[in-house]
Amino acid sequence: MTTRLDPRPSVQDAGTTTARLPGALDLDLPGGGTGESGETSPTATAERAGLLRIAQGAAGSLAVAIEVARGAGARVPLPGGGGTARRWEFLAGLAAADLSVAKVVEAHLDALAILAEARASGWLGDEAAVTSAVGADAWGVFAAEGRGVSAHAAWTADGWRLSGIKPWCSAAAALDRALVTARTPSGPGLFAVDLQAEGVVAQPDAWYARGLVEVGSGPVELHDVPGIPVGEPGWYVQRDGMAWGGMGVAACWFGGAVGVARRLWQAAAERAPDDVALMHLAAVDAALDLTRTRLAVAAAQVDAGTATRLPGRLVAQRVRAASARCVDEVLTRVGHGLGPGPLALDEEHARRVADLQLYVRQHHAERDEVATGRLLLELDGAPW
């Protein structure tokens, strides 16, 4: 039996610690506000702070990541409801503390947001069965496609059944449930799947990465596994939340960059820096501040209802590109500024760099730039 990590004891010292992190992780804009409700209560704020403190001591532990995910669901606002900045701040804060925790929690929160969006749209099959699993279970989202492998869903006398192979299934062996994409006769579908069901076979031995070591993202085999439909075919990729979730990942990349950058600042604070070190420090500060501002503006756009349809997809592409470039800049500058020592002799820094290098590759670099170029040409007029 797994012991649950309860963030509530953190309420006792909430007077000195909040779920808001200072400096680069603050996504508030001047004059901005929040229309969110319960998630801004003192209790929810203090409990988010408690989860952040738990993440700071995770050291890449998958068990800790799962328990933080379970604790975060009811304490983090959904995107688009006035609290998007708070949501992304929390994800960035987790990533600055531990990227393994952030990766698991981001997927869990994204799954809950997708289910809420489907419920609001009237597209959640067997709502009672899914809703009963939302509160206590740890969720993932398995939507990646891979060359030569695929999953298919077929309607049978026993309901929808999934078979095939899904690649890139993060932490599949440790999660309770996942939203899984699969091909149907009517197009790509999304299904809620019990990962403990007979016929689900994770392949953790296929994971050789040196980053995000415990968050194995190997393939999962599905053998006639029951699935509950979430949305009609094609709904998953057409909804506005697809773009919003992609920006949540970008917030994690940004937070990971902040975590790496803090090591450079620490070194400069401990020993009088030369001009080259000051140059790297300034360049890192500029990259982080620009990305923080871009995330803050995007959060305001999401909450204002202007990041929808084509404009929303374009906002997401820009934010993800900005965050990915920021990560590249920070990794390069910090590497040049610190040299090989911390990468070889500082376990936390070495793990953080390896985690971030792998995580940011969810951005498809030049291929995503091509996609952005196509979106720009779909606009009615010049975008600038």
Q: Is the pLDDT of residue 83 over 80?
A: yes
Could you tell me if 34 and 40 are in contact, meaning their C-beta atoms sit under 8 angstroms apart? Answer: yes
Q: How far apart are CA 187 and CA 194, in angstroms?
A: 22
Taking only the tens place, the pLDDT of each residue in 183-214 is 999 999 999 999 999 999 999 888 999 999 99
Question: Residue for token digits 């006639």?
Answer: 224
Taking only the tens place, the pLDDT of each residue in 285-307 is 999 999 999 999 999 999 999 99
Nearest CA among 219, 53, 67, 247 for reference residue 147: 219
Amino acid at position 268, single letter: A
Q: How far apart are CA 209 and CA 226, in angstroms?
A: 31
Q: How far apart are CA 245 and CA 112, in angstroms?
A: 11
Q: What domains lie within the chain, and their CATH numbers?
A: 21-121 (no CATH), 138-230 (2.40.110.10), 237-377 (1.20.140.10)
Q: What is the pLDDT averaged over residues 238-254?
A: 97
Q: What does pTM read for this prediction?
A: 0.91
Nearest CA among 291, 300, 277, 341 for reference residue 96: 291
The pLDDT of residue 44: 80
The pLDDT of residue 125: 64
Q: 87 or 9: whose pLDDT is higher?
A: 87
The pLDDT of residue 131: 67
